């Protein structure tokens, strides 16, 4: 059973997400209203680039940040296109970029291409704007590849490393998360961690907080260093805070 304080802590670390294919302006308005709930607020909303301006306006005056995705979800290798997309998103008001690493390049051993993309986006996303690099650990599979992808992302300037897009058959896993956290610890850099996908219950959220605290130190998991990428877990956390039974059914990422 998850206690109320842990649920509150998870809520404050939440990147409340709507990356559904049929997302609408109305859905973004509802997402931003949830994000500002006084029981949180959440750390950020994570949305498609075309909704950044709307979310920016809806969240004006609140501490909730606007995150958007780049190179999502395929992890392609067209650096020029990614550069253009990131520049436009930042111009629209995004505070954070969740960039999908070219994970196929990592799988075939082309670490230079993967590193270059992270480094280029890092250079563009400056002035206090966060860069979260999505490794897509469910596609990398091999622990050695997850470790390599984590290390090269950190070395190229990632502020966070993130498990998954939520669009692949396998998203966040305890095994992948542990590898990533251990690479962060070994890096001795202030890099954050974001599990995403398949996190639906308060118990799921509490598990990853506990894992992060165990590896990185008690109390490490705060919005500055730890995010949870999810949509349906919001309702479960609110239910826990209110002393109700949280929803357990899957939501759409």
Q: How much of the chain is in helix, strand and coil states, percent to nearest 5?
A: 45, 15, 40
Of the listed 34, 159, 162, 198, which one is catalytic?
162
The pair of three-digit structure tokens given for residue 86, joined into one six-digit string: 């990131």
Q: How many CA atoms lie within 13 A of 187 on its CB side?
A: 26
User: Is 167 designated active site?
Assistant: no
* Mean per-residue pLDDT, 31-38: 96
Q: How many Cβ atoms are within 10 Å of 134's Cβ, its own excluded?
A: 30
* Mean per-residue pLDDT, 222-241: 96
* Mean per-residue pLDDT, 35-57: 97
For residue 249, pLDDT over 80 is answered with no
Is residue 98 within 8 Å of residue 70, measured between CB atoms?
yes
pLDDT computed for residue 176 by the predictor: 98
* Mean per-residue pLDDT, 20-25: 97
Is residue 186 within 8 Å of residue 199, measured between CB atoms?
no
Report d(CA 187, CA 176) in Å as an integer.
17
- The 10s digit of each residue's pLDDT in 97-107 is 999 999 999 99
- Grade residue 91 by pLDDT with cuts at 50, 70 and 90: very high
Report d(CA 231, CA 159) in Å as an integer.
22
Of the listed 159, 194, 198, 204, which one is catalytic?
194
Angle at 108 between CA 137 and CA 68, to 5 degrees: 45
Give the mean pLDDT of the chain. 95
Q: Biggest alpha carbon distance in the chain? A: 50
Q: What is the pTM of this model?
A: 0.95
The crossing angle, in degrees rounded to 10, of helices 202-216 and 233-241 is 90
pLDDT computed for residue 68 by the predictor: 98
pLDDT computed for residue 128 by the predictor: 85
- Grade residue 251 by pLDDT with cuts at 50, 70 and 90: very low
* Mean per-residue pLDDT, 27-37: 97
Higher pLDDT, 177 or 248: 177
For residue 65, pLDDT over 70 is answered with yes
User: Is 98 designated active site?
Assistant: yes
Q: Measure CA 71 to chain center.
A: 14
Of the listed 98, 159, 198, 204, which one is catalytic?
98
Strands 130-134 and 96-100: parallel
For residue 247, pLDDT over 60 is answered with no
User: Is 162 designated active site?
Assistant: yes
Report d(CA 48, CA 70) in Å as an integer.
9
- The 10s digit of each residue's pLDDT in 175-217 is 999 999 999 999 989 999 999 999 999 999 999 999 999 999 9
For residue 246, pLDDT over 90 is answered with no
Map out the domains of the chain with their CATH numbers: 4-241 (3.20.20.70)
**Residue found under tokens 């609140």:** 62
* Mean per-residue pLDDT, 81-90: 98
For residue 119, pLDDT over 50 is answered with yes
pLDDT computed for residue 253 by the predictor: 56
H or E element that contains 44? strand 44-47
Sign of the CA dihedral 107, 166, 224, 86?
Answer: positive
């Amino acid at each position: 059973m998850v206690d109320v304080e842990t649920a509150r802590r998870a809520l404050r670390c939440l990147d409340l997400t709507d990356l559904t294919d049929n997302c609408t302006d109305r859905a973004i308005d509802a997402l931003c209203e949830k994000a500002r709930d006084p029981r949180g607020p959440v750390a950020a909303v994570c949305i498609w680039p075309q909704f950044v301006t709307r979310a920016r306006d809806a969240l004006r005056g609140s501490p909730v940040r606007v995150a958007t995705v780049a190179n999502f979800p395929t992890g392609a290798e067209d650096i020029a296109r990614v550069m253009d997309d990131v520049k436009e998103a930042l111009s629209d008001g995004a505070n954070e970029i969740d960039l999908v690493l070219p994970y196929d390049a990592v799988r075939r051993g082309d670490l230079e291409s993967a590193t270059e993309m992270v480094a280029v986006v890092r250079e563009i996303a400056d002035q206090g704007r966060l860069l979260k690099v999505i490794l897509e650990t469910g596609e990398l599979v091999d622990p050695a590849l997850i470790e390599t992808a984590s290390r090269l992302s950190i070395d190229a300037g990632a502020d966070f490393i993130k498990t998954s897009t939520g669009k692949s058959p396998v998203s966040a896993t305890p095994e992948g998360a542990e590898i990533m956290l251990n690479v962060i610890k070994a890096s001795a850099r202030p890099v954050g961690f974001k599990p995403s996908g398949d996190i639906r219950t308060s118990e799921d959220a509490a598990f990853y907080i506990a894992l992060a605290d165990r590896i990185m130190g008690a109390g490490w998991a705060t919005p500055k260093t730890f995010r949870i990428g999810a949509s349906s877990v919001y309702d479960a956390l609110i239910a826990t805070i209110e002393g109700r039974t949280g929803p357990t059914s899957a939501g759409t990422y």
